[in-house]
Amino acid sequence: MFGYENINLTFSFNLIFFIISLLIIIAYSVYVYKYTLPPVSRFRRFFLAFIRIIALTLLVFIIFEPTLILTEKKILPPVSLFFIDNSKSMQINDGSKRTEVVNRFIDDIINTDVKGEKKFYSFGSRTDAVAADSLNKLNFTEPSTNFAQIIDIIRNSDDNISTITIISDGVITDGSTPFYSAQRLGIPFFNLAVGDSSRKKDIELKNVLFNEYIYAQTPTAINAVITNNGFAGKNVSAGLYEGSNLISQKNIILDKSGVNSLSFEYTPVESGEKKIQIKVSVLDNEASALNNNKSFFVNILDNKINILLIAGSPGADLTFIKNSLTEDPNLKVNTLTQISPNRFLEQNQNLLLDSADIIYLIDYPTQNSDNGFLTKVSDKLRNKNIPLFLLLSSDVSPLKLKTIEDLLPISVTQIENNYLQVQPNPEFNESSNPLLNHSSESDWNNLPPIPQAISNIKVKPEGRVIVKTLVSGQPRSNPLIVTKNLGSKRSIVVLGNEIWRWKLQTAQKNIKLFDSFLLSSNRWLNAPDEDKKIMIRTSKKFYAAGEPIDFSAQVYDDLFNPLSDAELKLNISGPEYHDEIILSSIGNGLYEGSLSLTKNGDYKFSGQVLFDNKNLGYDNGTFNVGDVDPELLESRMNFDFLNQLSIETKGKTYVNTNTDQLIGDLIQANQDLSKEKILTSEIRLWSSEILLILVIVLFSLEWFIRKRSGML
C-alpha cells in the first residue's frame, strides 16, 4: 500500500479506551447541539456538532500518543568496491609495467557488465573516492601505503558490499596489516597483485632493533639484520653514526645463507634527542642502494629511574609485574605491600615514596588502606607530577580512590564484587600507539580472558581508550585500558585484574606481550619533556620528499588549563631553507598546521607562543626529509601478504596476467548477492505541530460561528 510493505498505527494506551472516548465525544457533541439558544438552522447545528467532534477527537488522539509505523522492503543491489594503490611504489620500474597493468584493468572493469554497482577508491597515505571517469587521472605519487584505512571505509559503508578488489603491489609502508579486521568483515577480497615478486641481486639493511628511550652513560645494543641475494662471500662495511659522527664500524663477509646479524654497542654521552644511522657500503650491480641504510631517532634520558609498586595485598599480579619490570636494567623496582590496615610488609615507606619516579597502584587503595599514607601518595603524585599506573579490581575502594581521581583518565562511582571474563580488543585506530605497537594484533587477540569487575565508570574527556573488551568473542564498549596525557599529567588505568594470565598462559606460545606492554607503559609514563606548558610535535620523524609534514601543538597556561587563543609561530630551518608558519587553533588548547618540503636533509623547528603580547614559552624539535622514502625501499611485490589477505577472507589473489580470470570471478561472485533490507520508520503523530494547529483552528471556527449566531 502506497509503496509500503506494512502500515500500522499504535497508541500508548489500549485502543478500546480511545473508541470509548470517541463514542462519548460523539454523544456529547450531538447532545449539546440538539437544541440551541437562540434556535439555529438544522444544517448549522449539524455543522457545529461535526466541528466539535473532529476537534475533540483530534485532541484525544494526541493525548493517546499515536505513532504511525511504516515498513518498507528495499532491494539492495550488490556493490563491488575497487581500491587502487596510488602510491609511489606503483611507478617502480621492475619490468612488470605496473601502471600499465593498473590502467588496463581499470578500462576492462569499467567496460564489463558486473551485476550491481561499482565504486572506486584510490589509497595511499589516505583513501579517497574516485569517479569512474577520473580514474585515468591517478598520478601514483602518494608517499605511503596504508591498508588499514581501507577497512575503515568498508566498515562505515551502508552498501550491500559483495566483493572487494585491491589492485596493489602489497607493500605496506604505513599502518598495520589488517588480516583480523578484514576477516571480521565477512566479505571476500579479490586482489590483483601488481609487480614482480622475484628476488633481485641486492643488499638490504632491515629489522633494526633499538630502544626508543635509553639512558645516558649506559651502554645499549642496536641490532640489525643484513640480507643479500647474489653477493655471498663479498665484503661490506657497516657503520653506526650519531648525526654525522661515526661511532663504530664493522667489516662483514656476506653469508651464503643470505642473512647476517649485526650488533653495535652504543653509549650515549649526554641526554637529548639524537639521530642515529646505520649505513652499509654499496656494491656494484645492486638493484637499489636506497635500502642500504636506516635512520632513526632515540631519546637519551638522565640516569636510572625508581619504580614504586604499591599493592593492596600480596598477589600474583604484584609478583609478575615486578619480575617483568626488573628485566630492564635501567629500572630500580621497589614494592610496598599492604598486609593490614596500617601496616606494610616492607620498611621505610616514606623513603621509598619520596624517591619514586613512577608509581604503580596494584589493587590499591582498598577499604582498609591508611588515609594518612594515601594522602602522602596523593600529594607526591600531584605536587611532583609523578606518572601513575593503576590496576583496578573490586578490591579498590571507589571512595578512597576519589583522593587521586583528578589524576586519572576515568571517574569511578561504584565497583561490584561480580566479574565478567573479558579479552582485550585493541581500538583499530590505536595500532601505532606506543603502548600497543610492540605486539601484533594477533598477539592481543590470543590473550586469555581476565576478570573485570562490573562497575560504574565514566571515561573523562581527556581520557583515551586504547583497548576495549571482548566478552565471549563479542565486542563490547567497556574500556579495558585507558590513558591520560594532559599537560604534565600522565596515567594508565587497566580495568581488570589477574593480568598475570597474559604472561603465564601464553608462555608456551612465546608471546611476550605482557613484558612488552609493561615496559612500553613504563617508557611512555617516563617520556621526557611532557611537563612543559607548550608541546609541539610532528606526526612522525621521517618524511619522503614532497610528503605533507603535519605539526600539532598543545598550549597550557600556568595552571595547565588549555589555552586556545594564543598565537603560535613556528620557524622551520634546514638545508638552504628557512620559513615561518602560523599554527591554527582547533580548540581545547590544540593547534595544527602543515607544509611540504622537497629538499632532502635534517630540519629543525622552533615554536614560540604569544598571548596578550606576552611570551609564554617555546618548544623545538627535529625531523628529516628524504633519508627514508619507504615507497622506494622495497621493489618486490608482496604477493604473500595479498594472498594471505584473500585466504583469510575466502577470496582469491591474481597476478598481472590473470586480469581476465579476475573479472570473470567478479561477475560470478555478484550473480545472486542482492538482498532485502527492511526499513522501518516511526512518525510520532502526537508531537505534530500541524495537528495542534488544526485543533486550535477548529475550536476557533466553532467559537466564531457560535458568536455570529448569537449563541453563548
pLDDT tops 90 at residue 623:
yes
Q: Under DSSP, is residue 92 helix (H, G, I), strand (E, B) or coil? A: coil
How far is the C-alpha of 427 from the C-alpha of 490, rounded, in Å?
Answer: 20
Lowest-confidence pick of 127-141, 274-288, 532-546: 532-546
Task: Report, as an integer, the average pLDDT of 223-242.
Answer: 93
pLDDT at 691: 85
Task: Fill in the amino acid letter for 514.
Answer: F
Q: Which of 661, 667, 656, 635 is nearest to 167 (CA)?
A: 656
Q: Which of 305, 311, 344, 351 is nearest to 325 (CA)?
A: 305
Task: Report, as an integer, the average pLDDT of 170-191.
Answer: 89
Task: Report, as an integer, the average pLDDT of 281-287.
Answer: 90
Q: Which of 525, 537, 519, 469 is nearest to 492 (CA)?
A: 525
DSSP track, 212-226: SEEETT--EEEEEEE
Q: What's the half-sphere exposure (Cβ side, CA atoms, 13 Å) at 443?
A: 20
Domain 534-629 sits in which CATH superfamily?
Macroglobulin (MG2) domain (2.60.40.1930)
Q: Where in the chain is the domain with CATH 2.60.40.1930?
A: 534-629
Lowest-confidence pick of 28-42, 99-113, 298-312, 521-535: 521-535
pLDDT at 93: 84
Reported confidence tier of residue 651, pLDDT bands at 50, 70, 90: very high
Q: Checking DSSP bridges between strand 202-209 and strand 220-229, what pairing results, if any?
A: antiparallel
Task: Report, as an integer, the average pLDDT of 190-205.
Answer: 89
Residues 6+ apart with CB under 8 A from 268: 214, 215, 216, 217, 218, 220, 242, 274, 298, 300
Quick check: 424 and 447 in contact, CB under 8 A? Answer: yes
pLDDT tops 70 at residue 560:
no
Q: How many other C-beta atoms can be found within 10 angstroms of the C-beta atom of residue 285?
A: 9
Q: Where in the chain is the domain with CATH 3.40.50.410?
A: 78-197+637-669
Go through 222-238 and write b for each residue having 16 or more CB atoms within 10 A of its CB, e for each that does not: bebebbbbbbeeeebeb
pLDDT tops 60 at residue 531:
no
Tell me the percentage of the chain whose pLDDT exceeds 70. 95
DSSP track, 139-171: ---BS--BSHHHHHHHHT--S-EEEEEEEE---
pLDDT at 213: 76
* Chain segment 324-377, per-residue pLDDT in tens: 999 888 788 999 999 988 889 999 999 999 999 999 999 999 999 999 999 999
Strand partners, 279: 239, 293
Q: What is the mean pLDDT of the chain?
A: 87
pLDDT at 144: 87
Instruction: Provide CATH code, domain 78-197+637-669.
Output: 3.40.50.410
Task: Report, as an integer, the average pLDDT of 457-473.
Answer: 91
* Chain segment 53-81, per-residue pLDDT in tens: 999 998 888 888 888 887 777 777 888 99
pTM value is: 0.53
Task: Report, as an integer, the average pLDDT of 394-407.
Answer: 92
Output the CA–CA distances (angstroms, integers) from residue 254 to 12, 591, 609, 633, in the order listed: 82, 49, 53, 20
pLDDT tops 90 at residue 207:
no
Q: Under DSSP, is residue 708 helix (H, G, I), strand (E, B) or coil? A: helix
Architecture, CATH, for domain 202-301: Sandwich (2.60)
Say how many Å lie between the first and final Cα of the chain, rounded: 46
Q: Which of 302, 304, 346 is nearest to 325 (CA)?
A: 304
pLDDT tops 60 at residue 1:
no
Quick check: 29 and 52 in contact, CB under 8 A? Answer: yes
* Chain segment 507-525, per-residue pLDDT in tens: 566 567 888 899 889 888 8
pLDDT tops 80 at residue 672:
no
Lowest-confidence pick of 307-311, 420-424, 683-687: 683-687
Reported confidence tier of residue 92, pLDDT bands at 50, 70, 90: confident
User: Which comes out higher in pLDDT, residue 232 or 473?
Assistant: 232
pLDDT at 580: 93
pLDDT at 14: 86
Task: Report, as an integer, the average pLDDT of 275-299.
Answer: 89
Reported confidence tier of residue 390, pLDDT bands at 50, 70, 90: very high
pLDDT tops 70 at residue 559:
no
pLDDT at 383: 86
Task: Report, as an integer, the average pLDDT of 419-424.
Answer: 92
Reported confidence tier of residue 443, pLDDT bands at 50, 70, 90: confident
CATH class of residue range 305-525: alpha beta
pLDDT at 677: 62
pLDDT at 431: 77
How far is the C-alpha of 96 from the C-alpha of 102, rounded, in Å?
Answer: 11
pLDDT at 169: 93
pLDDT tops 90 at residue 206:
no
pLDDT at 674: 58
Q: Where in the chain is the domain with CATH 3.40.50.880?
A: 305-525
Task: Report, as an integer, the average pLDDT of 121-137.
Answer: 91
pLDDT tops 90 at residue 165:
yes
Residues 6+ apart with CB under 8 A from 687: none
Strands, sheet with 127-130, edge to edge from the N-terminal-most edge strand = 127-130, 117-123, 79-85, 161-168, 189-193, 652-654
Q: Under DSSP, is residue 496 helix (H, G, I), strand (E, B) or coil? A: coil
pLDDT at 507: 59
